[in-house]
Amino acid sequence: MFHIKTFNAIAPEGMARFEDGNYTIDQDQAEHGIILRSEKLHDYDFPESVLAVARAGAGTNNIPVEELTKAGVVVFNTPGANANAVKELVVASLLLSVRPILQGANWVQSLEGDNLEEVAEANKKQFAGNELEGKRLGVIGLGAIGAMIANDAYRLGMEVMGYDPYVSVDTAWTISRRVKRAQQIEEIFTTCDFITVHVPLTEATRGLIGEKEIALMKPTTRLFNFSRGEIVDTDAVLKAINDDELGGFTTDFADSKLLHNPKILVLPHLGASTEEAEINCAKMAARTLKRFLETGVIKRSVNFPTVEMSFQSPYRITIIHDNKPNVLGQISTEIASLGINIDNMINRGRGDFAYTLVDVNGQDDAIMQRVKRHLEGKEHMIRVRTIKNTEVFNEWC
């Protein structure tokens, strides 16, 4: 029986995946898995029983990832589950940046009298804007969101240039061949009329766009930040806007310094705030967490490598350990010394840590617990689990 704790309101469509009799939700038992959205867990006292944390969203800044990694707790996120929601908001913001739609709508609401149609027709020129077609959009970060924006912007008639030195093969296949590739990020800054950034917040990307980068842009360039507030230096943006060195700025992260400026649009973090996105994120988080708890498979983790292997043996041993030489030999030797045959084995490393799955032809639970205790006592081992393949045992019965 696995015990799941939730923070925030997780869409029921996702939580329904745990309704199979093997799970309890938000009860008093020490939890094995945590699923959350925006709750800050840096001060949370994690029980030793916690095996994994799944965030229904892409960013994990609200989770103490480094500390959990050292404790052998796997942290998952849901990249791409909310991509369409963010993409649609960015495209809408692109349109709003060139067409004063909001200003025109608010002006009409202020009119009074019986001749509204005539007044509106006579004054509409003050809300004339421009078109996106033929303008150049620079997309920094071609992950799930950036790739979708690049493709849709091209379909709107824009010339699109993308920059991402780490773009994955899977994502590369989804990007239109019409999207030009920038070899250096400076090419985006110096040549694009619109620039949108879609990269995760890390120490390398914090302040990615600041005074120096803005100085390379055209004074008419419009900048968009729907990633994380800290990626763009808002003080540098505000100075450039006030000095007429930047055409406009749209951000999804509220900052009091940016308010009440006609060239700046601040949104209340609406990026993934659609019903569909919340459902998609909840489903993906629940599916990933459940698969890990039941089979040990890791996919979409932010702190451990992807490790997938078909589970066809009676038992599986999962081991989180230091990424050191000869650890695999130590594991296989220890298992063999207890008279247990290894059916299959896979290992992947990521930085200082590694993850190993070992499928064995074990005889019963008691023997497997003995294996677990032996491995836990060895050097470099961080966390050891044994998982019983109930489907195999049910077939035998």
Model pLDDT, residue 202: 87
The mean predicted confidence, pLDDT, of the chain is 93
pLDDT in tens, 129-176: 999 999 999 999 999 899 999 999 999 999 999 999 888 777 788 899
Model pLDDT, residue 315: 95
Model pLDDT, residue 98: 97
Q: At what angle do helices 83-98 and 101-109 cross, to 10 degrees?
A: 70
Looking at the predicted structure, is the pLDDT value of residue 396 above 60? no
Looking at the predicted structure, is the pLDDT value of residue 209 above 90? yes
Kindly give the pairing relationship between strand 33-36 and strand 23-25: unpaired
Looking at the predicted structure, is the pLDDT value of residue 328 above 70? yes
Q: Which residue has the tokens 């970060």?
A: 141
Among residues 310, 140, 301, the alpha carbon closest in space to that of 228 is found at 140
Looking at the predicted structure, is the pLDDT value of residue 273 above 90? no
Vertex 82: Cα angle to 79 and 84 (nearest 5): 115
Q: Is 13 helix (H, G, I), strand (E, B) or coil?
A: helix
DSSP codes joined into one string, 92-138? HHHHHHHS-HHHHHHHHHT--SS-HHHHHHHHGGGG----STT-EEE
Model pLDDT, residue 397: 37
Vertex 340: Cα angle to 336 and 342 (nearest 5): 80
pLDDT band at 21 (very low <50, low <70, confident <90, very high): confident
Question: Mean pLDDT, to the nearest integer, of 325-334?
Answer: 93
Question: Mean pLDDT, to the nearest integer, of 87-100?
Answer: 97
The answer to whether 281 and 89 have CB atoms below 8 angstroms apart is: no
Phi, psi of 244 (to 5 degrees): 60, 35
Model pLDDT, residue 282: 96
Paired tokens of 52: 């994994």
Looking at the predicted structure, is the pLDDT value of residue 210 above 50? yes
CA distance 163 to 157: 19
Vertex 339: Cα angle to 334 and 343 (nearest 5): 80
Least confident range of 28-32, 205-209, 249-253, 282-286: 28-32
Looking at the predicted structure, is the pLDDT value of residue 395 above 80? no
The answer to whether 374 and 338 have CB atoms below 8 angstroms apart is: yes
Residue 66: CB atoms within 10 Å: 10
pLDDT band at 312 (very low <50, low <70, confident <90, very high): very high
262: buried, middle or exposed (CB in 10 Å: 19+, 13-18, 0-12)?
exposed
Looking at the predicted structure, is the pLDDT value of residue 30 above 60? yes
Question: Quick check: pTM over 0.85?
Answer: no
